[in-house]
Amino acid sequence: MKIIKRDGSEMEFDRGKIEAAIEKANASVEAADRLTTEQIMHIAQQVEAYCEGMNRALSVEEIQDQVENHLMALNAFRLARCYITYRYTRALVRKANTTDKQILSLIECNNEEVKQENANKNPTVNSVQRDYMAGEVSKDITRRILLPRDIVDAHEAGLIHFHDADYFAQHMHNCDLVNLEDMLQNGTVISGTKIERPHSFSTACNIATQIIAQVASNQYGGQSISLTHLAPFVQVSRDKIRQDILTGLQETGESVSEESLNYLVERRLREEIRRGVQTIQYQVVTLMTTNGQAPFVTVFMYLNEARNEQEKKDLAMIIEETLLQRYEGVKNEEGVWVTPAFPKLIYVLEEDNIHEDSPYYELTKLAAKCTARRMVPDYISEKVMLANKVDKNGQGHCYTCMGCRSFLTPYLDEDGKPKYYGRFNQGVVTVNLVDIGLSAKGDMDAFWQIFDERMELCHRALQCRHERLTGTLSDAAPILWQYGALARLKKGETIDRFLHGGYSTLSLGYAGLWECVYSLIGKKLTEPQGKELGLAIMRKLNEYTAKWKVAEVIDYSLYGTPLESTTYKFAKCLQKRFGIVPGVTDKSYITNSYHVHVTEPIDAFDKLALEAEFQALSPGGAISYVEVPNMQQNLDAVLSVMKFIYDNIMYAELNTKSDYCQVCGFDGEIAIEEQDGKLIWKCPHCGNTDQSKMNVARRTCGYIGTQYWNQGRTQEIKERVLHL
C-alpha cells in the first residue's frame, strides 16, 4: 500500500511511523493524559485499515487527519492538541519555501502526481523536467501573489480547478485556431527570418510544421490547423511540375500526348503530396517544443471548406494521404508500427461523403478503417453543427475545435463575415459539480444557493484570467500577434481589442454532472428524472455565462472540461470532505463533463443520442465517445456509428485499443491489474510490467495519451465498458 508524501512522491505505508508520531506527542503531556502502548497500536491499526479500504494512495495530511479523529474519539484532548500543534509547527517550517522539495522530487523522478499529470509528457526528459520546474515556481507565485486567497483555497480544496496555474505567471492564453491561410499566402516571420509564400505543396507543409512548433511554444493549450489552407498549393505544385516536364521534353525533343502529360504530372504530384503529408506527420511527432512535448495540434479535414471543385478534389487527395499515413502509424524504437498521439485528426461528415452514392464516400470508408486501427479521425457532423452554431444573422457554421474540444462561438467581423481562424481561448476555470451536490445533502434549495456561490467564485477566477492577459504586448509572442497566427499587430501594440466583443472566449468548465445528479436525487442521467435535472443544471450554467457576457462584453462560454489529472484530484478531495458515498465518491475519478458513467451499460447509439442533448448545451466545447472492441474486421459497424453521428450529434469519437509489448512482441490490449494496492499495466502474454518497454495508446479525454496516467484516470480506463 502506497502513500503520497508532501512533495508528491510515493512511498510504502509504514504503520510504525504513525505509532512513533503519537508516541512523541504522548511523551510531551502529563502522565494522566497519556495513552497506553496498546491504545496507540490500536489507533495505528485502525488508520491502516481505513487506508486499505480507500483503494487509493492517501496523502500524509489525510492520514494525519485520521489520527487526530481517533485521538479525539478517545477523549485524549491534550494529546490531540500536542499532535495538532506539532503538525502546525512543521507546516510553518515547510511554508518557508514551498517549492524546493517539489522541484527536487521532479528532478529525481519520484513525484508521482506530476509524473503522470500529462499523458503526453515523459517526466524523465530534461526538457519536460525544466518545464515542470518552471511550472512549480509559477504555481507558487500564482498561489502567493497573483490570485485572491479564496480562489486559491477553493482550488486546493477541489471546489473549483484553476487550470494551467503553472503558466499563469506569464501572459499566455490557452488554445487557438491558427490562421495558416494568412501566414502561407501573405508570408510570416519565424525566429527573425522572413518566410515568403511557398512555391510548392511540400514547402508549404514544411513551413506549416515550423509554424505549429512556434505557436505551441507561445501558448499552453491545443491548436488547430485546416488542410484546406494547404490545398491551394497543390495547384501551385501541379503547375510547377507540368512546366518542369514540358521543359524537359523540349530539351530532349520528345513529345507526349496531353493524356500522358497529365498522367505524368499527377503521378509526380501524388508523390509530392505524400512527402508533404509525411513531413507534417513526422515533424509533429518528433518536434519537441519548449514545454517538453510534441505540439498538441489538431488537423481539420473538411471538404466543403474548399472554395471550388478543383480545390475540393485537391483537398480530398491531401485528406486521403493523411488518412493512409495515419493508418500505417509511426515506428517505435523497435521498428514496430504503433499509434502516435498527434496530430489529432478531425474528419467532417457531410453530404458529399456520408452516403454510399456520395462522390467522396470512399474517403469516408478510409476514415473508418483508420479509426478502427488508430483511434482517429474523430468526427464532426456538418449537419448538426450548422444547426448548433448559428450566428446573429441566423446562419449556421461548421469549423474545427481548438485542440481536442474547445469550440469558439459564432462571430462576425466588422464586415459581417464569419471569422474563426485567428481566434483563441483566454483560459478555463472548472466547477466541481459533485461537491455542490454533496454539500446540498439532497436539499434542492440549498443546492441552487451553493451553486450561485460557486458560480460567483468561478466568475471572479475567470476575470483573473482575463485581467492577466489585459495589457499584454504583441512582443510577448510575435508569431501569434505580429506575424499572422492570430493577428498582424505592430510592435508595442497590446492585444486588448481581441479580448472583448466575442473575438476570443473565456471558458466556464464543469465536471461530474453524472455524480452530481445522483448525489441529489439518486437517479442516473440515463433515467428520465436524472436526465431532466441534468439538463436543468446545464441550462443554469448557460444562464450564468450569458449574464456575464452581456454585462462585460466578453464571450464567456460553457465548456465540458477534459479532466485528465484533475479527475483524480477532485475524487480525492471529495473523499476527504464527504467520505465514501456509494455511486458518488466510491471511485478514484469523477466523470468528465456530461458523460454517461464509464461503467454504465448502454448501447452506442443510445449513448450518443442521449449525450447529444447535453452536448448542444455545451457551446464552449465538448466531445462524446463510444467504447468499442477491435473493429478492424467490422468496418460496416464503424460506418454505421459514423452515419448515426452525422444525423444526431455534433462531435464524437470511437475509442478502441492500440498497444504493443516490446518484450514479447504482443500486439493487442495491454491489461491493467492491481499490484500492492496500485494499478499497473501488464502484458497478458509475457507478464511485462515495465512501462518503458511497452507502447500503450488510450483515449484520455478527447485526445490520445501515450505516457500513462495517474491512478484515478487509470482506474477510469480500466472500468470502461464496451458500447458496441
Q: What is the pLDDT, as a whole number, of residue 254? A: 92
Residue after which a domain boundary falls, among 290, 308, 342: 342
Q: What is the pLDDT, as a whole number, of residue 406? A: 95
Q: Are residues 455 and 489 in the same domain?
A: yes
DSSP state of 507: E
Q: Are residues 212 and 193 in the same domain?
A: yes
Q: Which residues contact 550 (CB under 8 A, 6 or more apart)?
A: none
SS3 278: helix
Q: Are residues 435 and 312 in the same domain?
A: no
Measured distance CA(666)–CA(686) in Å, rounded: 8
Q: Is 406 a catalytic residue?
A: yes
Q: Are residues 531 and 454 in the same domain?
A: yes
Of the listed 113, 321, 564, 716, which one is catalytic? 564
SS3 185: helix
Measured distance CA(4)–CA(189) in Å, rounded: 47
Measured distance CA(510)–CA(155) in Å, rounded: 14
Q: Are residues 513 and 531 in the same domain?
A: yes
Q: Is 437 a catalytic residue?
A: no
Q: Is 702 a catalytic residue?
A: yes
Whether residue 711 is contained in a domain is answered as no
Q: Are residues 338 and 275 in the same domain?
A: yes
Q: Is 471 a catalytic residue?
A: no
Consecutive 10-residue averages of pLDDT for the chain (724 residues): 72 88 87 89 91 80 86 84 72 55 56 53 62 74 90 96 92 96 97 95 97 92 96 98 95 93 97 96 75 80 97 98 95 85 94 98 98 95 98 96 94 94 98 98 97 98 97 96 98 97 97 98 98 98 98 97 88 94 95 97 98 98 95 95 98 90 90 89 94 86 74 88 93
Task: Tell me which residue of 680, 677, 674 sits closest to 696, measured CA to CA.
Answer: 680
Q: Which amino acid is at 189?
A: V
658-661 sheet: strands from edge to edge: 658-661, 694-699, 704-705
Measured distance CA(710)–CA(678) in Å, rounded: 10
Q: Which residues contact 402 (CB under 8 A, 6 or more apart)?
A: 174, 175, 176, 177, 221, 222, 223, 224, 298, 408, 424, 425
Q: Are residues 90 and 106 in the same domain?
A: no
Q: Are residues 261 and 305 in the same domain?
A: yes
Q: What is the pLDDT, as a whole number, of residue 412? A: 95
DSSP state of 197: P
Phi, psi of 186 (to 5 degrees): -110, 0
649 touches 610 (CB < 8 A): no
Tell me whether residue 579 is exposed, middle or buried, using C-beta atoms within 10 angstroms of its C-beta: 0 to 12, 13 to 18, 19 or more: exposed
Residue after which a domain boundary falls, among 342, 357, 390: 342
Residue after which a domain boundary falls, among 282, 317, 342: 342
41 touches 29 (CB < 8 A): no
Of the listed 54, 175, 464, 516, which one is catalytic? 175
Q: Is 175 a catalytic residue?
A: yes
The DSSP bridge pattern shows strands 330-331 and 297-301 to be unpaired
Of the listed 158, 403, 620, 702, which one is catalytic? 702
Of the listed 111, 174, 200, 688, which one is catalytic? 174
Whether residue 460 is contained in a domain is answered as yes
Phi, psi of 424 (to 5 degrees): -155, 170
Cell numbers placing 153: 483555497
Whether residue 645 is contained in a domain is answered as no
Of the listed 54, 172, 301, 404, which one is catalytic? 404
Q: Are residues 158 and 272 in the same domain?
A: no
Model pLDDT for residues 269-284, shown as the tens digit of each residue: 999 999 999 999 988 8
Of the listed 406, 439, 557, 565, which one is catalytic? 406
- Could you give the number of structural domains in the chain? 4
Whether residue 705 is contained in a domain is answered as no
Cell numbers placing 158: 477541489
Cell numbers placing 273: 503530396
Q: 144-165: b or e for each residue (b if 16 or more CB lie within 10 Å)?
A: eebbeeebbebbeebbbbbbbb
Please provide the size of the chain in residues.
Answer: 724
Whether residue 231 is contained in a domain is answered as yes
Cell numbers placing 254: 520528345
Q: Is 624 a catalytic residue?
A: no
Phi-psi region of 710 (alpha: psi -120 to 50; beta: other; left: phi over 0): beta
Q: Are residues 168 and 181 in the same domain?
A: no
Measured distance CA(368)–CA(362) in Å, rounded: 10
Q: What is the pLDDT, as a whole number, of residue 202? A: 97
Task: Tell me which residue of 193, 194, 198 sits closest to 208, measured CA to CA.
Answer: 198
Sign of CA dihedral 599, 603, 604, 609: negative
List alpha helices for 470-603, DSSP H.
Answer: 478-481, 513-521, 528-552, 565-578
657 touches 632 (CB < 8 A): no
Of the listed 385, 402, 538, 701, which one is catalytic? 402
Q: Which residues contact 494 (CB under 8 A, 6 or more apart)?
A: 470, 471, 472, 473, 474
Whether residue 617 is contained in a domain is answered as no
Model pLDDT for residues 596-648, shown as the tens digit of each residue: 999 999 999 999 999 999 999 999 999 999 999 989 999 999 999 999 999 99
Of the listed 83, 421, 510, 559, which one is catalytic? 559
Question: Cell 497478458, residue?
Answer: 684
Phi, psi of 293 (to 5 degrees): -145, 165
**Model's pTM, two decimal places?**
0.85
Whether residue 612 is contained in a domain is answered as no
Q: Is 174 a catalytic residue?
A: yes
Measured distance CA(514)–CA(593) in Å, rounded: 8
Q: Are residues 61 and 207 in the same domain?
A: no
Q: Are residues 15 and 127 in the same domain?
A: no
Q: What is the pLDDT, as a whole number, of residue 249? A: 93
Question: Cell 487506508, residue?
Answer: 51
Domain extent at residue 494: 154-174+423-591
Question: Cell 503558466, residue?
Answer: 167
Whether residue 478 is contained in a domain is answered as yes
Measured distance CA(436)–CA(628) in Å, rounded: 33
Q: Which amino acid is at 60?
A: V
